Amino acid sequence: MPENTEPPRSSTERAQRGSFGPGALLQMIRSAPVWTRAELVRQSSLGRTAVAERIDLLVEAGLVRINPQATSTGGRPAETYSFHADEGRLLVADIGGRHTRLGITDLAGRLIASAEADLDSDQGAAVVMTEVVQRLDRLTHEVGLDRARLRGIGVGVPGPVDEGVMQRAYLPGWEGESIPTYFAEPFPGLPVLVDKDANILARGEQARDPEGFRNTIVLKVGMGVSCGVIVDGRVLHGAQGAAADIGHLPAPERGVPCRCGMIGCTDAVASGRAIETALRASGRDVRTSREIVDLVRANDPEVLALVRQAGRDLGSSLGVLCAVVNPSVIVVGGNLAESPEPLLAGIRETIYRDFPPSLTRGITIVPSAIGAEAGLAGAAQLAVDDILRPDNVDALIARRR
């Protein structure tokens, strides 16, 4: 027999031969709660022996579990398999303009522990990231987490990011900062995945309903404005991580200076920071989007009017983006959307009034169904999708053998 056709000698080599190795099978298993071996054979187009070999390797690696067999009413019940989400833990952070959420999740993104902190991103990356790392470290101690169970870290940051480095940062002290370096010493060896905050929000929404959110605009409105876009099931990143950066679409006629140096940017006129500025001008001391939401819930007429106008301004920028990506859904999340009625009313008013029906027909505009936890869920999804990429899983199994 020619040398290059000699059969592999070990089950590991046999299971990894070809493009559909154990990692590819794990991707399939993760897509549904429970699988039988027959279903995996049918969906993968692999033979029963090949599927069995791959399952054995994934079970041995702790990534797949064999479920307890249900009580049978006749005949032997089929053995079933599921992704073992409890095999490891992830650290996650959703860093906003003035408020940060932190958490620990399992490998399915389910939140196990969480904490919040009012951190002002205007203080710069060094101050904020040092505090984030310290608080995550403290959270692991509070829940008694064995560090050996940590598999990775997912982080959302308030600005475009490319390969972990902040790009076009409109906040002082962030541009050019490498976010993963802050985790290197306290959490050595762990992969750190970073994206802008609206993109992790988009991933969180997408994980809840992948088919329903195949073509979606996800708007995050807090003290700043950020946007993520899902097209044909993929979160767009762009050349420098700034895809869908509508916060800096200018409308010079508004005449409001933006921190980026332009005039009338959406972020300058329609963010929580813009509402804060307007309220301070009328003598009212408001510092966070949470305080603005509290005033909305109290039916404060001045705040209701400001939030409704912010929605109108956001609608103008979103309408332009709709013309480019043709979404079926616009999801509005972030702290300012926690009491969404006036904000969404303003967005709908502009989109349906100022843009042609041929563009807006069929678009549903809804608040985030996940709410405050969407960013943490998306940060976990960002991390685990990279950690459990088929090639990474195949490499992990090869090392274990």
Q: Which residues of 361-372 are buried (b: 16+ CB within 10 A; e: fewer)?
A: eebebebbebeb
Integer Cα distance of 325 and 200 in angstroms: 19
Following CA atoms 117, 333, 281, 97 in sequence, which dihedral angle do they give, to the nearest 10 degrees?
40
Relative to beta strand 225-231, strand 64-66 is: unpaired
Segment 46-66 shows an average pLDDT of 95
Please state which of the ranges 8-17, 191-200, 256-265, 293-302 shows the lowest mean pLDDT: 8-17
Mean pLDDT computed over every residue of the chain: 89
pLDDT tens by residue, 359-395? 888 899 999 988 778 899 999 999 999 999 999 999 9
> Residue 217 forms beta bridges with which residues?
229, 330
Q: Which two tokens stand for residue 333?
A: 């999340």
Cα 324 from chain centroid (whole Å): 22
CA dihedral sign, ordered 160, 165, 169, 173: positive
Q: Please report the pLDDT score of residue 72 as a whole number.
A: 56
Q: Please report the pLDDT score of residue 75 as a whole number.
A: 58
CA distance to 3, 10, 13, 20, 144, per residue, from 16 (Å): 18, 10, 5, 7, 37
Integer Cα distance of 33 and 294 in angstroms: 39
Task: Give the residue among 135, 133, 140 at the shortest CA–CA distance from 113.
Answer: 140
Please state which of the ranges 259-263, 268-272, 284-288 shows the lowest mean pLDDT: 259-263
For the chain, give the number of residues: 401
Segment 125-145 shows an average pLDDT of 96
**For the chain, what percent of residues have pLDDT higher than 70?**
93
Q: Which two tokens stand for residue 341?
A: 């009625």
3-state secondary structure of 281: helix
In whole angstroms, how large is the CA radius of gyration of the chain?
24
- Judge contact between 310 and 275, C-beta under 8 A: yes
Segment 213-226 shows an average pLDDT of 93
Task: Give the residue among 387, 388, 382 at the shortest CA–CA distance from 241.
Answer: 382
What does pTM read for this prediction? 0.87
Integer Cα distance of 244 and 306 in angstroms: 24
Q: Please report the pLDDT score of residue 213 as a whole number.
A: 93
Please state which of the ranges 47-51, 244-248, 258-262, 338-342 shows the lowest mean pLDDT: 258-262
Q: Please report the pLDDT score of residue 296 as a whole number.
A: 94
Cα 72 from chain centroid (whole Å): 41
Relative to beta strand 192-196, strand 150-157 is: parallel
Q: Domains in the chain, ordered, with CATH?
A: 3-83 (1.10.10.10), 88-201+376-387 (3.30.420.40), 209-370 (3.30.420.40)
Q: Please report the pLDDT score of residue 9 as a whole number.
A: 38
